[in-house]
A and B are shown apart, each in its own frame.
Chain A
Amino acid sequence: MSDYILRVREISKSFSGVKALDNIHFDLKKGEVHALMGENGAGKSTFMKILIGLVSPDSGEVLLENENLVGNNVNETLKKGISMIHQEILIIPELTVAQNIFLGREREVSGKSGLLSGWLNDSEINQQAAALLDRMGVNIAPKAKMKHLSVAQMQMVEIAKAISNNAKVIIMDEPTSAISDKEVATLFGIIRDLKAQGVSIIYISHKMDEIFRISNTITVLRDGKYIGTKSAAELDQHALIAMMVGREIDQMFPEATQPVGKEVLSVRNLGRTGKFSGISFNVKSGEILGLAGLMGAGRTEIARAIFGLDKWDEGEITVKESPLRARTPREAIGRGIGYVSEDRKGLGFIPRMSVKDNITLSSMSNHRKGGFIDTHSEQSVTEKMIADLKIKTAGTGQHVTYLSGGNQQKVVIGKVLLASPEIIILDEPTRGVDVGAKFEIYKLIRSLADRGMAIIMISSELPEILGMSDRILVLSKGKQTALLSKVEATQELIMRYAVA
């Protein structure tokens, strides 16, 4: 079996008595893209950390070309040929592209020894970086400062760094979570080139369509256990989900049970210089309006404007026929608008505050007794919300930073719900959330609509937009290009308007 570059045997790891990984096997062929799938908490990240030498397993072997790497630290594994492109890209923004690529290896590049080895050789670094980026076929200047690059370009730089390390195995953790479709195509092109050169890729993503587009083989983990490895051709989406969640989910998207009511929110000719213009739509009670479009089409910007996070320059927003005036989040909340941001960490919650303190943060006026906080009412409301939304937490006093992504998302949704909204804007509500929790969030969104709320849902996942929305507003480059009904909308039609 010489065509296997990496063989992982019987890896187990426990953290304070809890088995995170139980007897995991993983075989990686030379020059293949091998997707590692599993819900959050399945053990993917622990497994990755073991591969790159960040965590040491309790038992088992990691054989890279028959050499056991267990016991090596991150730097040693890196030198032996395993690189990882992290989901949150690790770069030094003030340094140049070339300086970032060769960071920590300046001595090797300068080729000097003795006293002179501390001397930088930037021209050599720039030349080598230029050659490298050229070979990858990407158009990035080696002398550009990292901070001026797009996320996709930064990713390319990370890949260049991995290649310059002579990586035999490159691990990519959710590489497309923050880049546009066009950039995804470029990335996939580079992945194919790497394959052709015999580099193996371990690919982690929550996006099913990508997995089937790019990978040769798929391995599934669930609850820290190895479930199976199949060739991508043998599987379809349905079968893969079943492997991941351990049960069949027949209907991913719940149907509406209530008719649509009266108009609640109306946006007329809304515009913000340089971001979007001429945006007009309305949302009715009980309706889910999908906002579709490519990255940078202005969807989030429109949501932020409605919620008062950004100012806008022209047009009008009315809630039940009376316009918004102060244009602040506080006014929006007071008028019944709730916003669940795509930027959960940045705008969603306060990490070092408890579940209770986070969940009641937008509705503190309901818990005022005299001049003080009524802790009892806070407590009971929080317990009820935890039960309603099935939030998995050690208690109301648990800090939100310790919850999983899906549960953090539910805390944010809980906070929004407690402010009694009539309109909820959900921006990429299932990003970074695993399949099982996705299904629960879909059910929740539909039940909110059925309870009479008007929902605006932004999503980059077309199946999600198609499955959930009653109407779909398509945006392209800050302009609205179509308003489609559920019956006429198809993936192809949406894409055609999204690139218009």
Chain B
Amino acid sequence: MNRFSKLGQYGIFLAFALICLVLALSTPKFFTISNLLIIGNQVSINALLAFGVTFVIITGGIDLSLGSMVAVTGVAAASFAHPDTYPLVVPLLIGLGAGSAMGAFNGLVITKSKVPPFIVTLGTMTIGRGLALILSKGRPVSNLSDEFNFIGGGNIAGIPFPIIILLVAFAICSIVLNKTILGRYMYAVGGNEPAARASGIRVNRVKMWVYTICGLLSALGGILLTSRITTGQPNAGAGFELDAIAAAIIGGTSTSGGTGTMTGTLIGALLIGVISNSLDLLNVTSYYQQVVMGVIIIGAVVLDGLGKKD
């Protein structure tokens, strides 16, 4: 079984490298700098959400409210981002603050009520969607400042700004998970919650942190999206939570908690991006793309399951 567990660990990297190789050989357009930058840009929002939900899944939880948080934070930020009103920092802080608050609310309800995260965040998913519609009175919030629109649409030295945000967020998330005590405690809580508590870990505090961080990263995704489409859309982000969870799972994060890496999640998100990009290049309709994506998700979990069997 050792061989399988290795396969489970590195399988996703191998699969990713293999798919890229095949694509580079079969579609000359794939391996061009401009196409790679397009992929990076497309992947960035999903990757940010996936980083957030990776923290949550590692502790043994789940967050279904990501997509709604994207909408709420996008609308909230957009409302303060009209030209010549507030400095750029105001909409940013409002958006990030709203996301963190919603995440903290998730964490609070989950730790205090002992209701499973699946149910709680299913509830906040609906609440969030409603809030986004209330805040925007059901209409898109448009006419945003140029500085705000730079976040999702601009580039520095030819590199789209979202890619820079993505890389910075990846670095910070990896460090939090691997190098800090909080990260260690996340693995412990997800790996065996009663034992973590008996080791003196404040389990509820760890959970509060992960849901808050998840909210914060969703807000970052929401701001990026709003800026990219230059509008705060109350209906934006629907279904994003599933893509994010898929990226984490494809990247080897186990839904039973206790395992997972940021690198895996990043690759998972890239894999999803690369596949939909290449299917685009190959002129495969989006109907088939969904089927392919589903097969990949199940395949990844099968690999993970093989790795776990003893």
Contact = CB atoms under 8 A, between A and B. Distances in A.
Nearest to A16: B2
A388 B146 CA distance: 64
Contacts of A307: 198
B206 to A, nearest CB: 12
Contacts of B258: 350, 352-353
B187 A329 contact: no
Contact of A353 (B175, B187, B194): B187
Contact of B259 (A330, A339, A352, A373): A352
Interface string B171-215: 000010001110011011001101111111110000000000000
A364 B198 contact: no
Contacts of A346: 192, 194-195
Contact of B201 (A330, A353, A401): A330
A332 B258 CA distance: 25
A350 B187 contact: yes
A344 to B, nearest CB: 9
Interface in B280-301: none
A347 interface: yes
A380 to B, nearest CB: 17
A333 interface: yes
B210 to A, nearest CB: 17
A330 B202 contact: yes
A238 B68 CA distance: 69
Contacts of A330: 200-202
Given A357-B184, A372-B180, A373-B180, A334 B200 contact: yes
A88 to B, nearest CB: 15
A372 B187 CA distance: 16
A396 to B, nearest CB: 14
A350 B202 contact: no
Interface in A347-385: 347-353, 357, 361-362, 364-365, 368, 371-373
Contacts of B175: 372
A123 to B, nearest CB: 38
A176 interface: no
Contacts of B259: 352
Interface residues of B, number: 22
Contacts of B197: 309, 329
Contacts of B185: 364
A357 B188 CA distance: 9
A282 B87 CA distance: 65
Contacts of B191: 350-353
Contacts of B181: 364-365, 368, 373
Contact of B198 (A329, A357, A401): A329
Which of B180, B185, B198, B310 counts the most chain A CB atoms within 10 A? B198
Interface residues of A, number: 29
Interface string B203-230: 0000000000000000000000000000
A372 B172 CA distance: 12
Given A350-B258, A373-B180, A361 B201 contact: yes
A314 B241 CA distance: 48
A309 B203 CA distance: 13
A419 interface: yes
A347 B194 CA distance: 5
A232 B259 CA distance: 49
Nearest to B193: A350
A350 B188 contact: yes
A332 B198 CA distance: 10
Given A330-B200, A330-B202, A350 B195 contact: yes
B59 to A, nearest CB: 12
B211 to A, nearest CB: 21
A250 B95 CA distance: 72
B304 to A, nearest CB: 12
Given A368-B181, A372-B179, A372-B180, A347 B198 contact: yes
A431 interface: no
Contact of A329 (B179, B184, B188, B199): B199
Which of B181, B195, B197 counts the most chain A CB atoms within 10 A? B195
Contacts of B187: 350, 353, 357
Interface in A412-451: 415, 419
A372 B175 CA distance: 9
A330 B202 CA distance: 7
A415 B194 contact: no
A373 B184 contact: yes
Contacts of A339: 198
A349 B197 CA distance: 11
A459 B270 CA distance: 55
A341 interface: yes
A329 B200 contact: yes
Contact of A415 (B179, B199, B202): B199
A291 to B, nearest CB: 18
A112 to B, nearest CB: 37
Given A353-B191, A373-B179, A362 B184 contact: no
A361 B188 contact: yes
Contacts of A415: 199
A353 B259 CA distance: 9
Nearest to A353: B191
Given A351-B191, A353-B191, A371 B180 contact: yes
Contacts of A401: 310
B201 A348 contact: no
Contacts of B179: 372-373
Given A330-B202, A333-B200, A419-B200, A349 B195 contact: yes
Nearest to A330: B200
B174 to A, nearest CB: 12
Contacts of A333: 199-200
Interface string A334-347: 10000101000011
A364 B184 contact: yes
Nearest to B205: A330
A101 B303 CA distance: 35
B58 to A, nearest CB: 11
A362 B199 CA distance: 5
Nearest to B256: A352
Nearest to A412: B195
A349 B201 contact: no
B184 A350 contact: no
Given A329-B198, A361-B201, A350 B180 contact: no
Contacts of A351: 191-192
Nearest to B175: A372
A339 B197 CA distance: 12
A361 B201 CA distance: 8
Interface string B236-258: 00000000000000000000001
Contacts of B188: 350, 353, 357, 361
Interface of B: 175, 179-181, 184-185, 187-188, 191-192, 194-202, 258-259, 310
Given A364-B181, A364-B185, 6 more contacts: A307-B198, A339-B198, A349-B195, A350-B192, A352-B258, A361-B188
23 contacts: A307-B198, A309-B197, A330-B201, A330-B202, A348-B195, A349-B195, A350-B188, A350-B192, A350-B195, A351-B191, A353-B188, A353-B191, A361-B184, A361-B199, A361-B201, A362-B199, A362-B200, A364-B185, A365-B181, A372-B175, A373-B179, A373-B181, A373-B184
